[in-house]
Amino acid sequence: MASTPKLVIVDRDGTLNIDSDDYVKSADEWSPYPNALHAIARLNHAGWHVVVVTNQSGLGRGLFDMATLNAMHEKMHRALAAVGAKVDAIFFCPHTPEDACQCRKPASGLFEQIRERYGRPLDGVPNVGDSLRDLQAGDALGCESHLVLTGKGEAFRDRPLSEHFPANTRVHEDLLAFADWFLAREHLKSGAHAP
């Protein structure tokens, strides 16, 4: 029987790369947070599979096409590979809010796709994002919620989270701070089983 993959779910815009109020519309506009690339490398090297989940309503709004989205993701894969990192898969929603789909975060459809693809429940799987909707989507399937203070998350610096955030949401400076905290916790958990 195959072992259950160790998953970490990560938002894209504002968490992995710099976001824009005007949308990230081209590979030229896609610019990673350098620390985020190293965060994924650390997670990978510790045996964790990273999956990206992202709303890409720019597709539905006609701001860019699939070829452009693929070019952005190819640039992302190259940047990750340059630091010895990779993401296993990218799950994206192409719809606008008006489409009332089930995959646009905060709806949980993309997370349901991950559960189906990996054949495992998402209870306790870390879900890292920079906005309330990122965390609500994963919380619906039992993910552990982690807010980063990059992108939209900067608005929550030095202030308490609203009651709308999932209970026990943890706050981290950025994706690298999350990775360091998470891997230290996992090391402590596994320490009891060390020889």
> What's the pLDDT at 156?
96
- Position 13 confidence tier, pLDDT thresholds 50, 70, 90: very high
Task: With respect to residue 79, please indicate whether it lies within any of the assigned structural domains.
Answer: yes
E-state strands within 109-175: 126-129, 144-148, 170-172
For residue 153, the domain's CATH number is 3.40.50.1000
Q: Specify whether 13 is catalytic.
A: yes
At a CB cut-off of 8 Å and minimum separation 6, what does 184 contact? none
Residue with tokens 């992302």: 76
pLDDT at 191 over 90: no
Strand partners, 126: 144
DSSP secondary structure code for residue 17 in this structure: B
Range of the domain at 99: 7-191
Task: With respect to residue 114, please indicate whether it lies within any of the assigned structural domains.
Answer: yes
Task: With respect to residue 82, please indicate whether it lies within any of the assigned structural domains.
Answer: yes
- Position 192 confidence tier, pLDDT thresholds 50, 70, 90: low
> Mean pLDDT in the chain?
95
Task: With respect to residue 146, please indicate whether it lies within any of the assigned structural domains.
Answer: yes
Task: With respect to residue 2, please indicate whether it lies within any of the assigned structural domains.
Answer: no
The predicted model scores a pTM of: 0.95
For the chain, how many structural domains are there in total?
1
Q: Specify whether 99 is catalytic.
A: no
Average pLDDT over residues 136-165: 97
Task: With respect to residue 22, please indicate whether it lies within any of the assigned structural domains.
Answer: yes
How far is residue 15's CA from residue 12's CA, in Å, rounded to a whole number? 5
Convert the pLDDT of each residue in 44-78 to its tens digit.
Answer: 999 999 999 999 999 999 999 999 999 999 999 99
Catalytic residue among 11, 19, 139, 174: 11
Task: With respect to residue 1, please indicate whether it lies within any of the assigned structural domains.
Answer: no
- Position 121 confidence tier, pLDDT thresholds 50, 70, 90: very high
pLDDT at 151 over 70: yes
Tokens of 177: 């701070």
Task: With respect to residue 89, please indicate whether it lies within any of the assigned structural domains.
Answer: yes
